[in-house]
Amino acid sequence: MRLLTEKCTGCGYCVLVCPYNALTTNGWAKLIPANCTDCNLCVYACPVDCFVPELETPLKPYRPRVKEEYEVVVIGSGIGGLMVGAALAQAGRAVAVFEKLGFPGGRYTELTYKGAAVTTSAWTSLGPRSNIGRLLADLRIELDYVSLEDVGLTEQYAIHFADGRHYAGLFDLLTPQTRKAWLKAVIGGRKSQSSFLNQISAADYVAQFSTDPDLLAVVDAVVTTASGLSSSQMPASEYIQIALASREAGRQFAMPRGGVRSIIKALTRTLREAGGQLFVRSPVARILVKGNQAVGVRLADGREVRSEVVIHNGGPARFGQLVGAKNLPRDYVGRLTALRGVECAALFCATRQPLFTDAPITITPQCRWVAGIFSPTVLDPSLSRTGHYLYDAFFPTRSDDRVAELGLALADLRNLFPRFDDVVEWTVPMFFTGAWPGTESGQTFGQTGDHRLDPVTPIENCYLVGMDVKGSGVAGDLIPVGVRQLLAYLKVELKSQR
């Protein structure tokens, strides 16, 4: 196996899937040739095609049986692609979903590593009251959630300052006066003019209500944990949406039992039960366009599949590549290429002793690098081996010096939890950058509200779905907004609405 290190973005997926410890990462993947058995699993785990098999006798290419024609082809099985695919299959359309990786879910699932469910990015939705929870209910998917209430907790996040101060929740930290000011900012924001809130940063907006440095530090850490941005990079409108959605979830804040892959498994099952097909290890190489109309796709193995409708879930950059710039109006190509990805990282850890138990999330304001830590095992201990506790420490990336960034993140963890080195079992760094960013457009200034992409593209019968399409909310929870819009364009009513 050859590893093209120059293409590596550092996501760590290959390390998670390699059964022979032939891969390590210090922020960039490294191959240990002596351990490699050429099993090829990494080829189908890498989102950016870093692995090139080098067998003397090449393996027979994977070639699933695919029909020549479908009504709908979905490119990519991220949560957006699967939601729209499942809804269309339920509406009786002949749907095929093509996924380049060896597993469905994209950045919204878990891979099993050393007996633990390690997220491929997303930790959780906010639970049944979130956009994702409501859309799943509309697809008649019943999930078994573990909520705060179920495990006897009251707060979504506790607060642990770098200087050692610890608070059970935001209201535990704030004085009554600051609490009132923050509520006024958030609840009043719902009624304010969106154009003003789109133009002012979350940091400047909250500072108009209170200059309490602790509140501003928490707002910054919450924004970073939810999006990878600082509070001065995110418009106030997005912060308000995040704060309101978290409040709305309340003690119903929940994670699906078994992790977010339970959502992906349920969507895949729903798609298939309704007659749809999902093909993994099946990259699409081209969206076929005739005149100005999408007529199907060409798979990477050369086969062409005709389709009345093509839906793309792979992000704006890949959409431009698959359609070809010459098929798109120049201003639209300009919009796609101008979108900037949010770069961020997480250090995933397993420990032999719990680091915290008072909330699933610990927000860590004023730390040098880490902004927040999610512990899925606080809600569902079965996500790891007995006696192991899982933590995903989230931080923005600010340089190419990943060794230094990881050093700073580790220093934060050691400072916050002085026993960290005694209890840590293993860590895996996961960077989301370059061609596989945290989000391609996300919630950055100038990329929100009306700037976001519509599901309708300039190519007839060709649509977009996923993180980069219109919507607003807590990270991936904005995706169902675009899914609903797309279904309305396609004149599909969700089952529960019929």
In contact, 479 and 467? CB cutoff 8 Å = yes
Beta carbon of residue 278, minimum distance to ligand FAD (angstroms, whole number):
11
Alpha carbon distances (Å) from 356 to 101, 239, 422: 34, 26, 15
CB under 5 to 8 A by kind: which of ligand SF4, ligand FAD, none does 143 bind? none
- Residue 390: phi, psi to the nearest 5? -110, 145
CB under 5 to 8 A by kind: which of ligand FAD, ligand SF4, none does 77 bind? ligand FAD
Under the criterion CB under 6 A, does residue 433 sit at the interface with ligand SF4? no
Q: What is the dihedral of CA 438, 442, 444, 449, to 10 degrees?
A: 180
Q: Which of 323, 286, 311, 317 is nearest to 82 (CA)?
A: 311
Under the criterion CB under 6 A, does residue 320 sit at the interface with ligand FAD? no
334 contacts: CB under 8 Å, gap ≥ 6: none
Under the criterion CB under 6 A, does residue 97 sit at the interface with ligand FAD? no
Site string for ligand FAD, 325-344 (x = CB under 6 A): -------------------x
**Which CB atom, from 47 or from 127, has the smaller least distance to ligand SF4?**
47
Under the criterion CB under 6 A, does residue 202 sit at the interface with ligand FAD? no
CA 203 from chain centre, in angstroms, equals 24
Of these, 2, 26, 30, 42, which contacts ligand SF4 (CB under 6 A)? Answer: 42
In contact, 209 and 246? CB cutoff 8 Å = no
CB under 5 to 8 A by kind: which of ligand FAD, ligand SF4, none does 78 bind? ligand FAD
**Which CB atom, from 215 or from 413, has the smaller least distance to ligand FAD?**
413
DSSP states of 64-79: ----SEEEEEEE--BH
Under the criterion CB under 6 A, does residue 432 sit at the interface with ligand FAD? yes
- Binding to ligand SF4 (CB under 6 A) within 21-40 occurs at 22-23, 25, 29, 31, 36-40
Given the rule CB under 6 A, which of 100-108, 178-186, 361-369, 417-425 is the region that contacts ligand FAD? 100-108
The two three-digit tokens of residue 170, written as one number = 């935001």
* CA–CA gap between residue 38 and residue 68 (Å, rounded): 32
Given the rule CB under 6 A, which of 57-65, 95-103, 153-161, 355-363 is the region that contacts ligand FAD? 95-103
Under the criterion CB under 6 A, does residue 429 sit at the interface with ligand FAD? no
CB under 5 to 8 A by kind: which of ligand FAD, ligand SF4, none does 37 bind? ligand SF4
Of these, 10, 102, 106, 372, which contacts ligand FAD (CB under 6 A)? Answer: 106
Under the criterion CB under 6 A, does residue 1 sit at the interface with ligand SF4? yes
Beta carbon of residue 474, minimum distance to ligand SF4 (angstroms, whole number):
25
Strand partners, 113: 116
**Which CB atom, from 96 or from 173, has the smaller least distance to ligand FAD?**
96
* CA–CA gap between residue 316 and residue 328 (Å, rounded): 12
Q: What is the dihedral of CA 323, 329, 330, 334, to 10 degrees?
A: -70
Under the criterion CB under 6 A, does residue 434 sit at the interface with ligand SF4? no
- Binding to ligand FAD (CB under 6 A) within 20-79 occurs at 47, 75-79
Q: Which of 250, 157, 160 is nearest to 214 (CA)?
A: 160
CB under 5 to 8 A by kind: which of ligand FAD, ligand SF4, none does 455 bind? none
* CA–CA gap between residue 114 and residue 385 (Å, rounded): 8
Binding footprint of ligand SF4, residue count (CB under 6 A): 26
Q: Which of 348, 434, 360 is nearest to 397 (CA)?
A: 434
- Residue 193: phi, psi to the nearest 5? -70, 130
Of these, 2, 6, 9, 289, which contacts ligand SF4 (CB under 6 A)? Answer: 9
Alpha carbon distances (Å) from 378 to 146, 221, 223, 350: 10, 21, 22, 13
Which residue type sits at 300?
A
- Binding to ligand FAD (CB under 6 A) within 388-407 occurs at 394
Beta carbon of residue 227, minimum distance to ligand FAD (angstroms, whole number):
9
Under the criterion CB under 6 A, does residue 100 sit at the interface with ligand FAD? yes
Query: Which residues of the chain form contacts with ligand SF4 (CB under 6 A)?
Result: 1, 8-14, 18, 20, 22-23, 25, 29, 31, 36-42, 45-46, 48, 50
